[in-house]
Every structure is written in C-alpha cells, then in structure tokens.
Amino acid sequence: MPRLLIDTDPGVDDAFALALAARAPEVDLAAVTTVFGNVGLPATTANALGLLAACERPDVPVAAGAARALVFPAVREAGHVHGEDGLSGQSARLPRHPGLTPGGAVPLLARVLAESPEPVTIAPIGPLTNIALLLAAYPDLKPKIARLVVMGGGLTGGNSTPAAEFNLWADPEAAYRVLVEEDVPTLLVPIDLTYRCAVDGPWLDALRDSGPLGALLESFTPSYRAHYTSLLGRDCTILHDAVAVAEAILPGTLRTERLPITVQTTGPGRGAVIADRRLGVPPSPGYREIDVAVDTDLDALRALVLDRLR
C-alpha cells in the first residue's frame, strides 16, 4: 500500500486533513510530523497527537519539528483564525496519545523514507520548514519521495497578506527552497482552488450528525467558521489542507496545470508565489515548472470528505 507522510500545523483544516489521511484505506499513514504555524509548536504537536488518538490511530508515530522559520523569525501566528489552541478552544476534547517519537521531525521523516522500499508521498500542509530541512540535510533520500502534495500559495493574491498565503508567508525561504530549488515532483494546491472547495452550514451539520469523529471535527469549527463567514459574507468553512490530502490519498482528484513559479522573499510580496502565466515566452531563470492544482469536481470532493469522515 502506498505510504503517506503528513507534515502539519493543526489547525482546524489540518484536523480534517489528518482525519482523512488516518482513515484512508488507500494509503499507509507512515508518520505525522509537526511544525509551528497556525499556532505554536507545542500546540500543533499536542493537537496532532490527540487527533490521531481520536482517529484510533495511536500506531502512527508523531514527531515534533521546527518551532520557527528557516532563516528569519516569522511575525505572528494565525491563532486569531484557529483559536489560541488551534482548534477553536476545543482541543481539550481530544483523547490521549501514547506519545511523541523522540529525535524530532526531520530524523523521523528521513527514517521512514530510508526504510521504505517504495517512494513515499509527503503532504506538507503547514509552513515548509521541516521539508526544506529534510531535502537539504538528506539529499540522498530524494529518490524515495514519490511526490510532494503541498497546500500553499495563492496565484491571484494571498490571505495572510495581500500577496501571500499563510503557509508560504510563514516561511518564504523554506518555500523557495522546496518549491523552486528542488527537483522532487511537486503539486501545489493554492488557495485559489481551496476557497472554491468551501463547505457550507448544511455540510457541517451533516458531518456533526454522522458519528463521533464527525461530531468531534465539527466541534473544532466554531471560531474558524465564524472567521470565514465574516470574511466571505456567507456561512462557510474552508478546509484548505483537506483538499491537498484528498489528492494525496486519491491521486487525480485535482486537475492540474504545469506552471513555472517562483517565491518572492522580500518586500510587500514576501511569501507570494509568482506564476509565469504569460503565453509564448521562454522560461525565466529562477523559476521552476511544477504542477499547480487549478480545478476539481467540487461537489464530488465535498461528498468524498464527508463520506470518509463519518
């Protein structure tokens, strides 16, 4: 069975994504690693442990990674969106997990890759710090990575700043290293698509009524849902990371285009993805062609996520 590694900063949408991966019959969730991001590393790590326990997957090893960005300190965390604990203040509802794998995220990722007979998919759904460190410190393991399915970036604007999406903005140097400088097959799932995959109130109601896991996940959404409802002017929730993980467990779920991209690291555009969408021009130096998710069957995706989380 194909193996999957998830690097995450839970986070409400990470919680949905983790649950999706933990319950997917198509993949073997080989490990989960954590990174600072939506909230600080202690909280994202505690949340990852508790979510795996809630999914009855205490067998999945969890290790804690970077508490800060690769080069420059990031400015602030996204706690105002996800709540102080990353789960709308509801993280105490999570069960206990037997405990953290010692040694840290990067060594755990490296060990899983080294020991796996087949290449492994990695789904980074937080800042790309751990992944940049993995690729830079263990370049010999790159052939063991089947694909990076990265949630991040925005082709027509950002959410953390006018230009930058949160995951890239939180560590632009790591994003530049992973997305532009490496040659591992990479699919980027930007917010242009994840916003279109929004789920609405009835979807969340159906999730809540579907069983204990659905009820638990729904219980994490109040402040997150309020954020998006106020932002977008209608009752909705954006499950960014779950869109990427759906593709990671069922390749082909998302329709992609190949685009040359780079990452801006300075000025007001710090953390922005720049895609070269000009027609008829040769590739620019400093850009790399990667796959970018541009569309999906929206209703089918929503139904899939609901079905898997019930």
Active site residues: 240
- C-alpha to C-alpha distance for 68 and 133, rounded to whole angstroms: 12
DSSP class of residue 140 equals G
CB nearer to Ca ion: pick between 82 and 147: 82
**Of residues 65 and 126, the one with the C-beta less far from Ca ion:** 126
Could you list the residues that contact its own copies (CB under 8 A)?
66-68, 70-73, 103-104, 106-107, 110, 129, 133-134, 136-140, 155-159, 161-163, 173, 176-177, 181, 230-233, 260, 262, 264-269, 272, 274-281, 284, 286-287
Helix (H) or strand (E) holding 34, with range, is: strand 28-34
- The token pair at 246 is 């759906």
Partner from its own copies, Ca ion, none contacting 67, C-beta within 5 to 8 A by type? its own copies
3-state secondary structure of 85: coil
- With CB under 5 to 8 Å by kind, the binding choice for 233 among Ca ion, its own copies, none is its own copies
HSE (side-chain half, CA atoms, 13 Å) at 292: 24
Q: How far is the CB of 140 from its own copies (least distance, A)?
A: 7
Binds 5: which of Ca ion, its own copies, none (CB < 5-8 Å by kind):
none
Selection from Ca ion, its own copies, none that 14 binds (CB < 5 to 8 A by kind) is Ca ion
Smallest gap from Cβ 184 to its own copies, in A, equals 15
Task: For residues 135 and 182, give the distance between their C-alpha atoms in angstroms, rounded to a whole number.
Answer: 8
Peptide bond into 211 cis (omega under 30): no
Which one, 65 or 260, has the nearer CB to Ca ion?
65
The region of 79-87, 102-110, 125-133, 226-234 touching Ca ion under the rule CB under 5 A is 125-133
Nearer to its own copies, 210 or 229 (CB): 229
How far apart are the C-alpha atoms of 160 and 158, rounded to whole Å? 6
Burial class (CB in 10 A: 0-12, 13-18, 19+), 140: exposed
**Tokens linked to 139:** 């370049």
How many whole angstroms separate alpha carbon 130 and alpha carbon 178? 10
CA dihedral in degrees (190, 196, 201, 206; nearest 10)?
A: -80
How many residues of this chain interact with Ca ion, rule: CB under 5 A?
Answer: 6
231 binds, among its own copies, Ca ion, none (CB under 5 to 8 A by kind): its own copies
Minimum Å gap between C-beta 107 and its own copies is 7
Residues that bind Ca ion (CB under 5 A): 9, 11, 14, 125-126, 241
